[in-house]
Amino acid sequence: MSGHSKWATTKHKKAVVDAKRGKLFAKLIKNVEVAARTGGGDPAGNPTLYDAIQKAKKSSVPNDNIDRAVRRGSGQEAGGAQYETITYEGYGPGGVAVLVQCLTDNRNRAASDVRVAFTRNGGSMADPGSVSYLFSRRGVVIVNKTRDLAEDDVLTAVLDAGAEEVNDLGDSFEIISEPTDMVAVRTALQDAGIDYESADAAFLPSVEIDLGEDQAKRVFKMIDAIEDSDDVQDVYANYNVADDVMEKLES
């Protein structure tokens, strides 16, 4: 089980119901805008935009906000910022490797925010390339479990679409593929009538570090601080936390 997905899933649920909802909305809107700028404003011909819109809708971002972001990104409406993607690397408590992906219109602000979040929470920034080799880019599609959806149903739907593995994450299934096969995988799910929660190209770790309760608390606190920056879109880390420890932390 990849710590990334379990944490991302937990964080997503938490974010929707707490004070970070506004921040989450802003990040999802930025995602939509950048996808429209990069590949055009038609979701039918721009799979990245399609997935960004779906993710925003699943998180209850109002349709008006999504439509405006598409128009800004595609140049139909003024006001769009020039965002660039920057990846920062670092280490957290316990030697956990961390990749931070930013979408920012101010490189200096983003670097400063990320550095402060690392150093104030027992971590440190690292040189480019010192951490990224521990991760590989993968397509990750999350499907929420329902009473009448079995793992075999998911497997059958995605097997011929390029899916490499299906993992049971407790309350959802995680489907891993090459990033280039991700659209085919989520299309196969849709064709089979299976609703998916999210489809992302993510960085998954090749080696994981097992964390106890205290270390996990410190790592999660640091990730929280990093994600608090408006410029940060995604944080990936190579930890693994046992289910019983995770339940203690969630309670």
pLDDT at 122 over 70: yes
Same fold, 84-133+207-250 and 135-205: yes
For 71-113, write each residue's pLDDT tens digit.
Answer: 999 988 887 778 899 999 999 999 999 999 999 999 999 999 9
Sheet strands (E) in the chain: 84-91, 97-104, 124-126, 135-144, 163-168, 172-177, 198-205, 209-211, 232-237, 239-241
For 189-201, what is the mean pLDDT?
Answer: 91
pLDDT at 28 over 60: yes
For 202-233, write each residue's pLDDT tens digit.
Answer: 999 998 999 999 999 999 999 989 999 999 99
Would you list the domain boundaries of the chain?
Answer: 3-73, 84-133+207-250, 135-205
What top-level class would CATH report for the domain 84-133+207-250? alpha beta
CATH architecture designation of domain 135-205 = 2-Layer Sandwich (3.30)
Q: Which two tokens stand for residue 116?
A: 């402060």
Q: Quote the pLDDT of residue 181.
A: 95
| Model pTM score | 0.84
What top-level class would CATH report for the domain 3-73? mainly alpha
pLDDT at 1 over 50: no
Give the pairing of strands 239-241 and 209-211: parallel
- Cβ neighbour number for residue 56 with a 10 Å cutoff: 22
Contact indicator for 117, 88 with CB cutoff of 8 Å? no
